[in-house]
Amino acid sequence: MTVRQLYDKVGGDYENTLARFLTEERMVRFALKFPADQSYALLKNSLESGDMKEAFRGAHTLKGVCQNLGFTALYEPAHRVTEDLRAGNQVKEEDLRELEERYKELLDALRAFGESNA
């Protein structure tokens, strides 16, 4: 699988990310670190325990990381969730569902990519 194929598969912005990162090597190196990022877990757990301040921080960090790595499809729901939390609004169910789906897709795709290029 090529890096472009990976980004296409997960709804990422290959062109723009490459332009910012200059090399595919750097893109891949950091994309593969994404599964270890704790911000999604922080968001989920904090929402469950009702800690809205930490939930916001989780969503905000997740949004920032996605933005940096060019994972647009995941960035979008993360952005909406962040803004709702920032404004103190109820987070929308459909946003959370979309977030979870995109997140799982992304992890699967990264795993497949990692295996195919091992």
Partner 1 sequence: MAPNVYSEKKRILIADDSPINREILMDILGNGFDYVEAFDGVEATEILENENEEISLVLLDINMPRADGFEVLEAMNKNRWIDDTPVIIISAAQDVDFAERAYNLGVTDYISRPFDVHIVRRRVQNTLMLYEKQRRLLGLVGEQVREVQKTASMMINILSHIVEFQNEESGPHIQHIRVITELFLKALGQIYPEYKFTQEDINLIGTASALHDIGKITIPTSILNKPGRLTPEEFAVMKTHSAAGAAMLDALPLYKDEPLVKLGYQICRWHHERYDGRGYPDGLKGDDIPIAAQVVSLADVYDALTSERAYKKAFSHEKAIEMIKNGECGTFNPRLIYMLDSVADELYSRLNGAPENELDDDMRKLTAEILQKNDITYTGRTAAILEKERKKYTFFTSVSSDVMFELSYKPYILTFLNDAHKRIGAKHTLVSDPLDSDELIQCCGKDKLQDIATLLAKSTPGNPIIAYEGEINIDGGKHLCKLVAQSLWTDSSKPEMTGAIGKIFIIE
**Interface residues toward partner 1, by CB under 8 A:** 16-17, 19-22, 26, 29-30, 33-34, 36-37, 39, 54, 56-57, 60-61, 63-65, 67-70
Closer to partner 1 at the Cβ: 45 or 67? Answer: 67
CB of 20 to partner 1, least distance (A): 4
Q: How many CB atoms lie within 10 A of CB 90?
A: 7
Nearest Cα neighbor of 58 from 78, 31, 33, 30 is 78
CB of 32 to partner 1, least distance (A): 10
8 Å CB contact between 71 and 34: yes
Amino acid at 68: N
CB of 12 to partner 1, least distance (A): 12
